Amino acid sequence: MDTLNARQAARLLHLNLKRVQHLARTGRLPAVRVGRKWLFHRADLERLLGTGTQPTQAPGDRVMLSARNQLRARVTAITIDGLMAEVHLGIGDQEIISIITRASAERLGLAVGREVFAVIKSTEVMIGLGAAA
């Protein structure tokens, strides 16, 4: 089992070292504290990134999230500037704009024409992909 220290985990996740330590401390990132150091299993972090092995889904399966408002959408435009990405989603004859991190847009492989899910939770619009997408 490959174990990473906080600095290595930050590099893998493309996050600031202090942010990784804060996420581990608050339990939002799977980690174990040994003395004054945080240790992370690479497989756990890759699973969070979507790069590790994942269970397979049948085509047409929905993304399993707690949010109920999942709308099938198509990416109509992407504008990337610095650390952020503005993603325009077409849903029927409507358009929703989501602001996400550049890293998330790149990790999801978003491109114009790509089919995605718009996940609406309160005032946020998140973007998710099914395994078949």
Q: For residue range 77-122, what is the model confidence (pLDDT) as tens digits? A: 999 998 999 999 998 888 999 999 999 999 899 999 999 988 877 6
Beta carbons within 10 angstroms of residue 125's beta carbon = 19
Measured CA to CA in angstroms, residue 116 lies from 6, 48, 67, 94, 122 at distances of: 32, 18, 15, 15, 19
Contact 42, 30 (CB under 8 A): no
Tokens of 33: 């504290």
Mean pLDDT of the 126-133 span: 74
Surface-to-core class of residue 15, CB atoms within 10 Å of its CB (0-12 exposed, 13-18 middle, 19+ buried): middle
Higher pLDDT, 61 or 121: 121
Instruction: Give the mean pLDDT of the chain.
Output: 83
At 133, is the secondary structure helix, strand, or coil?
coil
Q: For residue range 1-59, what is the model confidence (pLDDT) as tens digits? A: 589 999 999 998 888 999 999 999 988 888 998 888 999 998 888 887 765 544 444 44
- Please give the pLDDT value at position 58: 47
Helix then strand then coil, % of the chain, to nearest 5: 25, 40, 35
**Over 70: is that where the pLDDT of 132 sits?**
no
Q: What is the pTM of this model?
A: 0.47
